[in-house]
């Protein structure tokens, strides 16, 4: 099978040992790439006793057959390990340029185990892998560190490099990837896993081309596909992911005041068009992406100082803006920039600050706990200062860096009532009361309150995919059909995360399931159909559930926090309804072939070859 | 009937655009009466499908997202927004 080097790098930091293992076609046919190979490794090489911050945890970064091909928006890889934030499966999918440079160095994936006896970085290139001293950049932020690392290797390199938050093992630390742009593998605290291993960075560059079965065929296909993708996604690219802020606010999907408010006229101040008209310097793109949804913003000066770098995404606007009621665009941009530098997940950071604001309002914490900072709703200054404290693990920032659930437990009293999380992961900026498939996705996604596992909210509004049996956008707040639609999309998005291709190619049906399967066949030389590829996706999704089942996860963990189930949004134009999780989950388990307790049955596992 | 525009359409169309109609008219027909620069901005052409249009603009009445073939009454107010495409 083509499209792969069929080589996985293994690095044991304790023993300072590097080896290369071959992958056979049977494994690749069954799991394909990215998330599939990652979850197989995670399942096989960790146990229920594995400490997420211990040397026995693994950190895997996997590419797919689409990586370094002509397929649009495919410069992505999947990072996995047991999550120190949730204690269960940890995963994060990230763009930029690292995946392409890494694959061009001659490997499909890397697995890091053990713990170095001092700070190190990996330099991965066509000639092999070197374990090098990272002491000169300890404590430096990700951007400064990447500059130094490029000076030690090549300025063309891309670096997966943690900042102070990861080094100090904040459980909401992500892994910034710094090439010509910055993207983060943000979710699940995987930056802390790197920190626990004394692994400051993985730097890579290469030029080795991977062979493809029908490169000319793929090139020909792209002659029509790429102009179509550019045309369909033009508006999305122009205004970025936050172009939808005003619309989502009107729909009741945008999170407000730790998810307890309904409407917010100030949302327009932090929308994509506002950013476009005020501080946008240029659009940015991951390698080989015709959409270019990224923002390079510049703020010359102001209360938070200058910012010149990546602009905030929709999810950041939702968590740092809406959840905290901060309509100060400059403050959000500064906090976003700090997250990129310290290596923090903006979603978890914004969520934990919103949680702390509510705790402050209720008197569970005071200025005596915050070093005098008034943690008031809407305070841009508080947002920026608390982000600094979390990133540097100073004062109350140390507790906040543990995430919402641990902070709520530490505060005690009734804090758990307004701790917004599922399985310990803070939600992204989509309201499960507006989109019930999102409620199911938050409940059943392997990593916790994740919108990407199904990425179903667009399909509950304006998207459909006939090849999957989804012929029309699914009606909102309707039990009938929601379980089936969510499960199908979870399999489909698992398929996309194993090949790997960005969700945003689905905007306006720019790329279809048929396209994706055709391209897989052209690259690998196989002849599979959509049904077979969807089975791969379903297998991967079930193996993730099986991993969590081994750790004790079941139906009891698939419910949403009380506020989502008891407190509805109200206001002009709001049509949200409380999701009936009991019924939705019962339907979902039945469709998935899982038991009433939400466990994959032996029959289901046999059917999927697990 | 009235269209109420939000950013960025407001720059081209103003805050509001009204049409007087004596009987229900398809949304597609009303969009066809938009100024040329607005039509260009929302990537509308006669052959466009709902899902293609929704990648660039969304039209909402009081209760739901509208389709091109939905019939619009003279007393309706329609909000025009950038799409909620993802995140």
- Which is nearest to A203 in space by CA: A225, A228, A177? A177
Secondary element (H or E) of residue A397: helix A397-400
Q: Quick one: A237 and A378 in the same domain?
A: yes
Is the CB of residue A249 less than 8 Å from the CB of residue A267? yes
Q: Which residues of chain A does B87 touch, with a Cβ-Cβ cutoff of 8 Å?
A: 241-242, 244, 248, 313-315, 318, 428-430, 451
Nearest to A461 among B8, B62, B84 (CB): B84
Secondary element (H or E) of residue A272: helix A272-278
A427: left (phi over 0), alpha (psi -120 to 50) or beta: beta
- Which is nearest to A246 in space by CA: B1, B4, B36, B66? B4
Q: Quick one: A564 and A479 in the same domain?
A: yes
Which chain B residue lies closest to A312 (C-alpha atoms)? B87
- The CA distance from B71 to A521, in Å, is 44
- The CA distance from A486 to A479, in Å, is 11
Q: Quick one: A187 and A260 in the same domain?
A: no
Residue A423 lies in a domain: no
Q: What is the percentage of chain B residues whose pLDDT exceeds 90?
A: 91
Is A461 within 8 Å of B60 when comparing Cβ atoms? Answer: no
Supply the pLDDT for residue A533.
98
At residue B11 the predicted structure's pLDDT band, cuts being 50, 70 and 90, is: very high
This complex has an ipTM of 0.95
Q: Quick one: A116 and A250 in the same domain?
A: no
CATH of the domain at B14: 3.10.20.30
Is A242 within 8 Å of B87 when comparing Cβ atoms? Answer: yes
Q: Which residues of chain A does B86 touch, with a Cβ-Cβ cutoff of 8 Å?
A: 236, 241, 244, 314, 455, 457-458, 503-504, 506-507
CA distance to A176, A209, B63, per residue, from A286 (Å): 14, 19, 37
Predicted confidence (pLDDT) per residue in B59-79, tens digit: 999 889 999 999 999 999 999
- Alpha carbon A14 to its chain centroid, in Å, reads 29
Residue A554 lies in a domain: yes
φ/ψ of residue A536, rounded to 5: -60, -45
Tokens representing A443 are: 């409940």
Is A231 within 8 Å of B86 when comparing Cβ atoms? Answer: no
DSSP A465: B
Is the CB of residue A427 less than 8 Å from the CB of residue A420? yes
Which chain A residue lies closest to B84 (C-alpha atoms)? A244
- Which is nearest to A346 in space by CA: A193, A503, A185? A185
Is the CB of residue A569 less than 8 Å from the CB of residue A64? no
- Alpha carbon A209 to its chain centroid, in Å, reads 28
Q: Name residue, tokens 């992406």.
A: A289
Order of strands, sheet of A109-113, starting from the edge strand that comes earlier in the sequence: A17-22, A7-12, A109-113, A59-62, A77-82, A89-94
Which chain A residue lies closest to B59 (C-alpha atoms)? A247
- Which is nearest to A426 in space by CA: A462, A477, A390, A470? A390
SS3 assignment, position A76: coil
**Which residues are paired to A120 by β-bridges?**
A133, A199
Residue B47 lies in a domain: yes
DSSP A320: I
CATH of the domain at A116: 3.60.9.10
Q: What is the 3-state secondary structure (H, E, C) of A349-364?
A: HHHHHHHHHHHHHCCC
Which chain A residue lies closest to B62 (C-alpha atoms)? A573
Residues of chain A with pLDDT below 70 are none
Residue A602 lies in a domain: yes
Is the CB of residue A119 less than 8 Å from the CB of residue A135? yes
**If interface means Cβ-Cβ distance under 8 Å, which residues of chain B face chain A?**
6-8, 43, 50-52, 54-58, 60, 62-63, 65, 79, 81-87
Secondary element (H or E) of residue A237: helix A234-239
Residue A223 lies in a domain: no
Contacts of A483 (CB under 8 A, 6+ apart): A440, A584, A587, A588, A590, A591
- The CA distance from A265 to B21, in Å, is 31
Q: Which of A356, A385, A418 is the last residue of a domain?
A: A418
Does the pLDDT at position B86 exceed 80? no
Domain that holds residue A143: 7-204
Is the CB of residue B43 less than 8 Å from the CB of residue B56? yes
Which chain A residue lies closest to B67 (C-alpha atoms)? A462
Q: Which residues of chain A does B62 touch, with a Cβ-Cβ cutoff of 8 Å?
A: 573
Contacts of A92 (CB under 8 A, 6+ apart): A78, A79, A80, A174, A175, A184, A185, A186, A187, A188, A190
CA dihedral A525, A527, A531, A534 (to 10 degrees): -10
**Which residues are paired to B17 by β-bridges?**
B3
Pairing of strands B2-5, B77-81: parallel
Domain that holds residue B64: 2-81
Q: Which residues of chain A does B7 touch, with a Cβ-Cβ cutoff of 8 Å?
A: 246, 268, 271, 273-274, 277
CATH of the domain at A374: 1.10.569.10
Q: Is the CB of A462 inside 8 Å of chain B's CB atoms?
A: yes
Residue B87 lies in a domain: no
CA distance to A97, A122, A205, A211, A375, per residue, from A129 (Å): 19, 7, 11, 22, 47
Q: Quick one: A190 and A336 in the same domain?
A: no
Instruction: Give me the number of domains chain A comprises.
Output: 3
- The CA distance from A314 to A233, in Å, is 16
Could you tell me the pTM of the whole model?
0.98
Q: Helices then strands (H, E): number in chain B?
A: 4, 6
At residue B87 the predicted structure's pLDDT band, cuts being 50, 70 and 90, is: confident
φ/ψ of residue A265, rounded to 5: -65, -25
Q: Quick one: A466 and A385 in the same domain?
A: no
Mean pLDDT of chain B: 95
Beta strands in A164-267 (DSSP E): 175-178, 182-185, 199-204
Residue B62 lies in a domain: yes
φ/ψ of residue A446, rounded to 5: -65, -30
- Rg of chain A over Cα atoms, rounded to whole angstroms, equals 22
Supply the pLDDT for residue B53.
94
- The CA distance from A311 to A308, in Å, is 9
Nearest to A232 among B52, B79, B81 (CB): B52
Residue A221 lies in a domain: no
Predicted confidence (pLDDT) per residue in A297-342, tens digit: 999 999 999 999 999 999 999 999 999 999 999 999 999 999 999 9
Instruction: Give me the number of domains chain B comprises.
Output: 1
CB atoms within 10 A of CB A26: 9
Q: Quick one: A363 and A495 in the same domain?
A: no
CATH of the domain at A490: 1.10.599.10
CB contacts < 8 A (A, B): 107
Q: Quick one: A446 and A589 in the same domain?
A: yes
A509: left (phi over 0), alpha (psi -120 to 50) or beta: left
End-to-end CA distance of chain A: 22
- The CA distance from A436 to A213, in Å, is 42
Residue A166 lies in a domain: yes
Q: Is the CB of A575 inside 8 Å of chain B's CB atoms?
A: yes
Supply the pLDDT for residue A15.
98
- Alpha carbon A317 to its chain centroid, in Å, reads 15
- The CA distance from A271 to A598, in Å, is 39
- Which is nearest to A93 in space by CA: A22, A16, A36? A36
Residue A598 lies in a domain: yes
At residue B85 the predicted structure's pLDDT band, cuts being 50, 70 and 90, is: confident
CA distance to A43, A514, A606, per residue, from A610 (Å): 11, 26, 6
Tokens representing A162 are: 């943690």
Pairing of strands A120-125, A199-204: parallel
- When scoring A227, A271, A467, A508 by the number of chain B Cβ atoms within 10 A, the one with the most, hence best to mutate, is A508
Q: Which of A156, A186, A204 is the last residue of a domain?
A: A204
């Amino acid at each position: 099978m083509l499209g792969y080097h069929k080589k996985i790098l293994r690095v044991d930091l304790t023993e300072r040992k590097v080896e290369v293992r071959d992958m056979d076609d049977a494994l690749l046919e069954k799991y394909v790439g990215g998330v599939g190979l990652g979850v197989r490794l995670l399942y096989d090489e960790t146990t229920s006793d594995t400490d997420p911050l211990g040397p026995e945890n693994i950190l895997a970064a996997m590419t797919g057959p689409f990586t370094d091909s002509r397929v649009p928006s495919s410069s992505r890889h999947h990072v996995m390990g047991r999550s120190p934030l949730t204690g269960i499966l940890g995963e994060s999918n990230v763009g930029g340029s690292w995946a392409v440079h890494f694959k061009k160095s001659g490997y499909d994936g890397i697995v890091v185990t053990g713990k170095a006896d001092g700070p190190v970085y990996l330099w991965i290139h066509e000639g092999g892998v070197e374990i090098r001293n990272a002491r000169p950049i300890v404590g430096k932020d990700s951007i400064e560190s990447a500059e130094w690392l490029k000076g030690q290797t090549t300025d063309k390199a891309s670096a997966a490099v943690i900042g102070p938050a990861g080094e100090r093992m904040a459980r909401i630390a992500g892994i910034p990837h710094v090439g010509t742009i910055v993207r983060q593998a943000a979710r699940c605290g995987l930056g802390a896993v790197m920190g626990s291993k004394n692994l400051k960075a993985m730097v890579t560059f290469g030029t080795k081309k991977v062979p493809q079965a029908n490169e000319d065929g793929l090139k020909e296909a792209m002659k029509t596909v790429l102009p179509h993708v550019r045309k369909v996604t033009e508006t999305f690219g122009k205004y970025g992911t936050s172009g939808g802020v005003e619309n989502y606010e009107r729909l009741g999907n945008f999170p407000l005041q730790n998810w307890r408010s309904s409407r917010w006229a100030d949302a327009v101040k932090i929308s994509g068009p506002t950013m476009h008209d005020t501080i946008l310097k240029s659009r940015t793109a991951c390698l080989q992406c015709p959409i270019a949804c990224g923002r390079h913003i510049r703020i010359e000066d102001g209360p938070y100082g200058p910012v010149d770098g990546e602009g905030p995404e929709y999810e950041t606007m939702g968590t740092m803006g809406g959840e905290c009621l901060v309509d100060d665009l400059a403050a959000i941009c500064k906090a976003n920039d700090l997250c990129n530098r310290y290596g923090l997940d903006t979603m978890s950071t914004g969520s934990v600050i919103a949680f702390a604001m509510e705790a402050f309002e209720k008197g569970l914490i005071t200025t005596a706990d915050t070093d005098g900072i008034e943690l008031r709703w809407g305070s841009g200054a508080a947002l920026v200062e608390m982000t600094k404290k979390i990133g540097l693990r100073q004062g109350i920032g140390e507790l906040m860096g543990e995430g919402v659930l641990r902070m709520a437990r530490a505060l005690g009293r009734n804090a758990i009532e307004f701790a917004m999380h599922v399985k310990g992961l803070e939600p992204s900026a989509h309201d499960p009361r507006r989109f019930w498939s999102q409620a199911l996705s938050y409940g059943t996604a392997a990593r916790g309150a994740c919108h990407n596992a199904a990425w179903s909210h667009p399909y509950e509004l304006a998207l459909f995919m006939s090849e999957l049996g989804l012929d029309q956008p699914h009606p909102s707040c309707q039990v009938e059909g929601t379980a089936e639609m969510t499960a199908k999309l979870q399999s489909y998005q698992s398929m996309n995360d194993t090949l790997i291709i960005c969700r945003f190619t689905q905007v306006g049906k720019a790329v279809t399931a048929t396209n994706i399967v055709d391209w897989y066949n052209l690259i690998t030389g196989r002849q599979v159909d959509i049904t077979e590829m969807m089975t791969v996706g379903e297998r991967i999704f079930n193996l993730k559930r099986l991993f969590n089942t081994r750790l004790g996860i079941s139906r009891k963990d698939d419910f949403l926090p009380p506020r989502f189930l008891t407190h509805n949004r109200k206001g002009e134009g709001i049509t949200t309804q409380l999701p009936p999780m009991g019924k939705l989950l019962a339907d979902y388990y039945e469709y998935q072939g899982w038991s009433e307790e939400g466990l994959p049955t032996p029959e289901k596992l046999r059917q999927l070859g697990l | 009937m009235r269209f109420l525009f939000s950013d960025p359409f407001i720059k081209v169309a103003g805050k509001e655009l009204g049409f007087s109609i004596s009987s229900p008219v398809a949304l597609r027909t009303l969009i066809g009466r938009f100024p040329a620069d607005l039509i260009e901005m929302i990537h509308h052409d006669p052959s466009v499908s709902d899902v293609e249009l929704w990648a660039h603009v969304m039209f909402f009445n009081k209760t739901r997202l509208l389709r091109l073939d939905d019939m619009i009454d003279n007393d309706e107010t329609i909000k025009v927004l950038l799409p909620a495409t993802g995140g």
